[in-house]
A and B are shown apart, each in its own frame.
Chain A
């Protein structure tokens, strides 16, 4: 209990130290505010962005597409992972292509998507879906390959159908890996949306970064980055909570 308290206290102390350094150091070292704005500069800019730039709309847009892209991408990745996991043949046939697509830098597709779909929300959604898809797919596929053969045999001996074995043995066995994949994917989703917004479009925090950058408004860029981090962080925390609930049956490593 004391230990837990200590962790929290130290963590908060570090935050305060960083914030103080941020406020004091740039002025002390004579760094101009368009290079590194201080904490109070950034807060003032945040207020201005809220009032004049329609910040709330940008935040909501980015958050919406992060969540939407994450949901669609991980759903597709999981479904594909399970389908390939059920068929050795297709897994072998498709694995080189999957590997190639996984290696290809997904963010580089953004300009293509803009050429194809125009300056709307479609490109950023697609980049996010694409970037989220692979870690989920790979994790699910890996888990499907390593399902305990004896458990499957037991289910077979109990006359379960192929589909029954999937729903009652394979699918639940893969949930820990699926959740790990989702956690990785949640952090990537923010990157996907940001890239989509940076490259094209006129809404979202990614747009504010390129807009602020163009105006040499470093405080705006700082604020947008922090808000993007907060969005990703919240998504991650929600997933962690869900994981705790879903995987309650795993013994805790430390208690």
Chain B
């Protein structure tokens, strides 16, 4: 098992003396190589879950375990990606991909070789000397994925990485991410508010309630083609899964 949340709660001090409970007693497991999505209304603590997995801050109570070891700080087992690509604008693409390896004492030649390999996996060959501003949004996200993969993390955390892209780029990028991640055999946690994206890409979906976030449902997506969302997309069952999510999130009631 790769990732486990054990009765995790997290509250933040608000301005004044109040406390805001963002995540309330959340427990779940993600198995090795599994692709799990977390969906929920905005402000439900999705990103808090991600930050705790990355070790950027600690749970108020409970435990987060990566490969059975409690997460106590930022660590090399976890690679994360946000909606923003977070490429360093003053570095060219290859130097950006190497960025994650620099703090680890990997010799320069090895760094370059590993970065070139990931560049290739993410279909960016030939762009190593370009600067981020010269690339399209989709290409920049692929470069960010290459940077994430180059540190060879046990878990990849994706925080709405496709939400800033136009519809077509999104489809293509979901497809290329799904394939790259499947080939690399990485355990992945995807935070998203796009319900169909969750159905298309995941093995399993966790539904969170409104704040304070609690897991209110767990849906196993029993569909083929996890590595090809574009093919999964045309399956008739996809609509049923989305409808289930709809129901759990009570979207119809809210619309009424």
**Inter-chain contact B74/A159, CB cutoff 8 Å:** yes
Count of residues in B whose CB is under 8 Å from the partner chain = 26
Chain A residues whose C-beta falls within 8 Å of the C-beta of B102 in the assembled complex: 158, 160, 164, 168
**Interface mask (B54-81 → A, CB under 8 Å = 1, otherwise 0):** 1110000000000000000011101110
**Inter-chain contact A157/B78, CB cutoff 8 Å:** yes
CB contact under 8 A between A156 and B74, given known A150-B82, A249-B131: yes
Bound-state Cα–Cα, A153 to B52, Å: 12
A161 at the interface (CB under 8 A from B): yes
Chain B residues whose C-beta falls within 8 Å of the C-beta of A169 in the assembled complex: 88
**Inter-chain contact A157/B55, CB cutoff 8 Å:** yes
User: In whole Å, how far is B160's beta carbon from the nearest beta carbon of chain A?
Assistant: 13
User: In whole Å, how far is A251's beta carbon from the nearest beta carbon of chain B?
Assistant: 4
Of B80, B89, B91, B104, the residue contacting A157 (CB under 8 A) is B80
**Inter-chain contact B103/A172, CB cutoff 8 Å:** no
A151 at the interface (CB under 8 A from B): yes
CB contact under 8 A between A158 and B100, given known A150-B82, A172-B88: yes
Chain A residues whose C-beta falls within 8 Å of the C-beta of B100 in the assembled complex: 158
B-binding residues in A (CB < 8 A): 148, 150-151, 153-154, 156-161, 164, 168-169, 172, 175, 248-251
Bound-state Cα–Cα, A157 to B55, Å: 7
Bound-state Cα–Cα, A145 to B216, Å: 40
Q: A158-B100, A249-B133 are in contact. List 19 more A-B contacts (CB 8 A).
A: A150-B82, A150-B84, A150-B86, A153-B51, A153-B54, A154-B86, A156-B74, A157-B54, A157-B55, A157-B74, A157-B79, A158-B103, A158-B151, A159-B104, A161-B103, A168-B102, A175-B90, A249-B132, A251-B133
- CB contact list, B83-103 vs A, under 8 A: 84, 86, 88-91, 99-100, 102-103
Chain A, Cβ-Cβ closest to B151? A158
CB contact under 8 A between A168 and B84, given known A153-B56, A250-B133: no
Chain B residues whose C-beta falls within 8 Å of the C-beta of A156 in the assembled complex: 56, 74
**Inter-chain contact A159/B75, CB cutoff 8 Å:** yes
Bound-state Cα–Cα, A157 to B100, Å: 9
CB contact under 8 A between A160 and B90, given known A150-B84, A249-B131, A250-B133: no
Question: Which 5 A/B pairs are nearest by Cβ-Cβ distance?
Answer: A251-B133, A159-B103, A160-B103, A158-B100, A157-B74
Chain B residues whose C-beta falls within 8 Å of the C-beta of A158 in the assembled complex: 74, 76, 99-100, 102-103, 151
User: In whole Å, how far is A64's beta carbon from the nearest beta carbon of chain B?
Assistant: 33
Of B86, B104, B132, the residue contacting A151 (CB under 8 A) is B86
Bound-state Cα–Cα, A175 to B90, Å: 10
User: In whole Å, how far is B216's beta carbon from the nearest beta carbon of chain A?
Assistant: 29
**Inter-chain contact A157/B88, CB cutoff 8 Å:** no
User: In whole Å, how far is B108's beta carbon from the nearest beta carbon of chain A?
Assistant: 15
**Inter-chain contact A249/B89, CB cutoff 8 Å:** yes
**Inter-chain contact A151/B88, CB cutoff 8 Å:** yes
- Give 7 CB contacts A-B under 8 Å: A153-B56, A156-B56, A156-B74, A157-B80, A158-B74, A158-B151, A248-B131
Chain A residues whose C-beta falls within 8 Å of the C-beta of B75 in the assembled complex: 159
**Interface mask (B124-158 → A, CB under 8 Å = 1, otherwise 0):** 00000001110000000000000000010000000
CB contact under 8 A between A164 and B133, given known A157-B54, A249-B90: no
Of A148, A153, A168, the residue contacting B99 (CB under 8 A) is A168
User: In whole Å, how far is B95's beta carbon from the nearest beta carbon of chain A?
Assistant: 10
Most buried by B among A150, A153, A154: A154
